[in-house]
Amino acid sequence: MSSTVGQVIKCKAAVAWEAGKPLVIEEVEVAPPQANEVRVKILFTSLCHTDGQTPLFPRIFGHEAGGIVESVGEGVTDLKPGDHVLPVFTGECKECRHCKSEESNMCDLLRINTDRGVMLTDGKSRFSINGQPIYHFVGTSTFSEYTVVHVGCLAKINPAAPLDKVCVLSCGISTGLGATLNVAKPKKGQSVAVFGLGAVGLAAAEGARIAGASRIIGVDLNPDRFEEAKKFGVTEFVNPKDHDKPVQQVLADMTDGGVDRAVECTGSIQAMISAFECVHDGWGVAVLVGVPNKDDAFKTHPMNLLNERTLKGTFFGNYKPRTDIPGVVEKYMNKELELEKFITHSVPFSEINKAFDYMLQGKSIRCIITMGA
């Protein structure tokens, strides 16, 4: 790989020129990494709903991926060319108060920022086409055969791990898994309700399965999702539309007063309230994962809290990207965590727009895109 070090690399990237339009495969120029940056050859990338939600164009989306370090900028000591990495949309500088706290993963320097389209080092983009800058997305921009990422947003992983599988751990799957394992923390034999059975919710269910939950109740408005969810340990299903009483009441009736843990993965404010109100008094814990609309307000009676229910929120499953994600990869390597069942489709890079169609039609949990194909 050494021949490209310090040089501009020309490669293919899927560029979003404007909102709502298909991505266009273009030849882009990728500048060498500056201080604290790393240039990565992306081998596999995956799609997530966040790709495409932005006001800034032209842009290269993509934030769930796996790749190999091509070169490193000045001051980078943790990574070297040839290392296998997962780029992550949020980071870990290891210096700020959040990074130094065992309780937080919300790095001050590298926390997700969907509006910023440039690198922190110099406020410029590393991508261009004929001199025109193409903006970055959440610091990763993995819909490009090469990308430049801040060292704090790269998890160095076991080189034996198959990148076409573990790439899904760099966003949604870790978010759901960690919401259950790190935040809800169900005890063996407890009951867990999961609201929303998309990729994140299925990962939350997988976390409950790994934790040894006795009952995993999936709550979703789409009954087509129920059969698939059984593979992730879901034992029972509730469709709120099938009942004429609030779903929290349905769940309380099913579980002798409430579930032990609930994980909300939809972003619907009503689901958030239901998830909190369906947990058992005395010990129940509800965890919010889904992102609400900006004007939403959470309303519940304070007695629900006074009766010893706990409400928590999480960001990226409370995982610190550099410290913790390598360990999640090891859970897959030692067969504790199953990833194959999350991957329902695969397409070559030239057909990336097809992957968006699968996602928008609700057909795919995760679609893997093979770069260079």
| 163 & 223 share domain | no
Query: Is 39 a known active-site residue?
Result: no
Question: Which of 11, 153, 167, 171 is flagged as catalytic?
Answer: 171
Q: Verify that 27 and 98 share a domain, yes or no.
A: yes
Give CA–CA dist 159/10, Å, rounded.
26
Q: 189 with 257, same domain?
A: yes
287 lies in which domain range? 176-315
50 is catalytic: yes
Task: Give the pLDDT of residue 373.
Answer: 75
Same domain? For 159 and 268 the reply is: no
Asked if 367 is an active-site residue, the reply is no
* Residue 334 in domain: no
Whether 11 is a known active-site residue: answer no
Residues 59 and 88 in one domain: yes
Spot the catalytic one: 11, 93, 167, 265: 93
Regarding whether 144 and 201 lie in a shared domain, the answer is no
Q: According to the model, what pLDDT value does residue 47 have? A: 87
Q: Among residues 50, 147, 180, 266, which one is catalytic?
A: 50
Whether residue 265 lies in the annotated active site: no
Told to judge if 49 belongs to the known catalytic residues of this protein, a careful annotator would answer yes
Task: Give yes or no: residues 18 and 164 share one domain.
Answer: yes
Q: What is the pLDDT of residue 52?
A: 64
Q: How many CB atoms lie within 10 A of CB 99?
A: 21
Return the half-sphere exposure (C-beta side, CA atoms, 13 A cut-off) of residue 55: 3
Catalytic residue among 11, 107, 278, 367: 107
Catalytic residue among 4, 29, 49, 310: 49
Averaged over 302-315, what is the pLDDT? 98
Residues 22 and 158 placed together within one structural domain of the fold: yes
Residue 217 lies in a domain: yes
Residue 92 domain flag: yes
- The structure tokens 């290891």 sit at 94
Instruction: Considering the candidates 26, 37, 48, 180, report the single residue annotated as catalytic.
Output: 48
Residue 325 lies in a domain: no
CATH code, domain with 307: 3.40.50.720
For residue 322, tell me if it sits in a domain. no
Residue 321: partners with Cβ closer than 8 Å, 6 or more residues away = 88, 90, 91, 92, 105, 152, 153, 154, 155
- 55 and 92 in a single domain? The answer is yes
Q: What's the confidence (pLDDT) of residue 360?
A: 86
Active-site annotation holds for 300: no
- Is residue 9's pLDDT more than 60? yes
Look at the chain and report how many structural domains it folds into: 2
Catalytic residue among 150, 278, 366, 367: 366
Give the tens place of pLDDT for each residue, 256-289.
999 999 999 999 999 999 999 999 999 999 999 9
CATH code at position 77: 3.90.180.10
The Cα–Cα gap between 299 and 279 comes to: 16
pLDDT digits (tens, 9 = 90+) for 135-148: 999 999 999 999 99
Pair 164, 15 in one domain: yes
Please check whether residue 363 lies inside any domain of the structure.
yes
- Is 280 one of the catalytic residues? no
Q: Under a CB-based contact definition with an 8 Å cutoff, are residues 207 and 179 in contact?
A: yes
Segment 97-124 mean pLDDT: 96
Give yes or no: 96 in active site.
yes
Q: What is the mean pLDDT of residues 215-229?
A: 96
Are 40 and 57 found together in one domain? yes
pLDDT confidence tier of residue 2, bands split at 50, 70 and 90: low
Q: What is the pLDDT of residues 317-326, one digit of tens each?
A: 999 999 999 9
Is residue 142 domain-shared with residue 31, that is, in the same domain?
yes
* pLDDT bucket at 79, cuts 50 / 70 / 90: very high
CA distance 90 to 105: 9
φ/ψ of 236, rounded to 5, equals: -140, 155
